[in-house]
Amino acid sequence: MKMILASSSPRRKELLHRLNYPFDIILPDVDESIIALDSNPEQYCICLAEMKTNDISQHYPHALVIGADTIVVQEDQILNKPNDRSQAENMLEILSGNTHQVLTGVCLKWIGGNIQHTFSEITMVTFRKLDKRDLLHYIDTYPPYDKSGSYGIQDWSAIFVKNIEGCYDNVVGFPLSRFYQEMKNLGINLLDSISEPP
């Protein structure tokens, strides 16, 4: 079975590589701005994941296409990728001392296998009260402009995190364990043609 990851995220690529199952990466061409940020957060990220898979699978009907979108939500407000330094600073101040949700919507589509399946994973993340100097150092040293909520838990911002409830990989950008189980539930066992680790 040919598998395609419809994502430009280096973190998703890294996570999926852990399964040692071969896959290609093809970047989808979608306009994410057509979905309103005041949508239901779960529906928002699932809809974006579906847009990505639909864009790629129409050209590759015989491949299983994986689309995903990860967002940060604080009190029903979607904190997307920041456009500039000021926006990043504001987002981190909103998250400071609070518990937020990290949602990933995933869509699996295989036209030839008659599969279109979506699911979402939620992880609760609690931040410590952030020191202004730490916050600004992070923004200046680890530019967060490609990260929802303005942070990447796998980098220096790990020091912001007081507690995680749920899947860590989901916060990084892809709920690997849940994905594997959902695939098995669909009758697809990646072990059937998995490659041995190097």
Cα–Cα distance measured from residue 107 to residue 170, given in angstroms and rounded to the nearest whole number: 14
Structure tokens, 9: 């995220």
The answer to whether residue 69 is catalytic is yes
Residue given tokens 């849940």 in the structure block: 178
In the DSSP assignment, the letter for residue 151 is: -
In the DSSP assignment, the letter for residue 57 is: H
Q: Which of 121, 118, 103, 146 is closest to 53 using CA atoms?
A: 118
Residue given tokens 């005041």 in the structure block: 38
Q: Are 183 and 189 in contact (CB under 8 A)?
A: yes
Q: Are 121 and 71 in contact (CB under 8 A)?
A: no
Catalytic-labelled residue, pool 69, 76, 134, 146: 69
Q: Which residues are catalytic?
A: 69
